[in-house]
Structure 1
């Protein structure tokens, strides 16, 4: 049997994973509702039909089985989909049979926006909009992101950094440059 690859397998040796999450279960809400409704309709109609319509009843039961298998596929797809943020890039791995890896370098991020609808505030998800240097990336809108506030803060720290740490780094580089230019006194 096949096993989907772990998203950490796509990390480089020089990368450090900062965040790894799967989308919030709320993204499955419509599929759950749809599956329950279709199963209820199939079962009720099947039991209301007279026994002489056995062919229609069989078709309804096969339709119900198809609805259950489709829902299982949707849940497994959700389970294997991961969003990974490292110190160098953002990645999303998707797919059960064919794995797809979406990637965007952290250095290309120019702006981050994060939204939390009312339902997201109640059950804990949000949407993060990632803008990059003049182009639309595959990871430009991440909906149903769990703990969106923490993910937003972590990516903001990676992209825009701590101002004090950047200032210290800049002054250290400047001091190293001055030391190289200083003539040797003998």
Structure 2
């Protein structure tokens, strides 16, 4: 899915667009299973009681609220988080109701590196670290295929024609 073209400047195109890795959804799915299992177990316990209907309604309300809070909210947060590399900048957007964004022009990027643990390597994700003109490096966690993103971003930074530090080619030297 491409990022909306109306947010890009003229001549700018999306090189890569990623959401955080699906491993972020493991805990919400676990909590959904726990909520459903606990609600089902408790509904079975109160089945023989005279006040079972009221208990079932209360259990259903509590289960729906917990499912929304522990499962749907993280799913929406995952879906609305974007890591985008364009031909001119790196963009990071996150948030459902309160959106935050970060743009880093490619010409301001000093270095790009990545790191991932053994589990991240098995799952195919990691942390991308971008050092720019800002004081501290920016870390983007749970980037899928982090090595590929690192390589593409490095290539975009070094192939940028506006970069003052780009080495001249043999044709330009002559």
TM range (shorter): 0.7 to 0.9
Deviation at 1:129, TM superposition (A): 1.4
Checking the alignment, whether the CA contact within 8 Å between 2:82 and 2:92 is kept in structure 1 is yes
Corresponding residue for residue 60 of structure 1: 59
The separation in 2 between residues aligned to 1:106 and 1:72, in whole angstroms, is: 35
Consecutive unaligned residues of structure 1, counting only runs of 5 or more, are 176-186
Deviation at 1:114, TM superposition (A): 0.7
Checking the alignment, whether the CA contact within 8 Å between 2:28 and 2:75 is kept in structure 1 is no
**Pairing 1:1-186 to 2, within 5 Å after superposition:** 6-49=3-46, 50-54=48-52, 55-70=54-69, 71-136=71-136, 140-161=138-159, 166-168=167-169, 172=172
Per-residue CA deviation, residues 78-134 of structure 1 (Å, 9 max, x unaligned), is 223221101221112333445433212222222222112222222221111122224
Paired residue secondary structure (2:142): strand
Q: How many residues align?
A: 165
The separation in 2 between residues aligned to 1:9 and 1:20, in whole angstroms, is: 15
TM-score using structure 1 length = 0.74
The separation in 2 between residues aligned to 1:51 and 1:167, in whole angstroms, is: 83
Which structure has more helix as a fraction of its residues? 1
TM-score using structure 2 length = 0.78
The separation in 1 between residues aligned to 2:102 and 2:93, in whole angstroms, is: 6
Between Structure 1 and Structure 2, whose CA radius of gyration is higher? 1
Q: Over aligned residue pairs, what C-alpha RMSD do you find?
A: 2.8
The separation in 1 between residues aligned to 2:4 and 2:119, in whole angstroms, is: 28
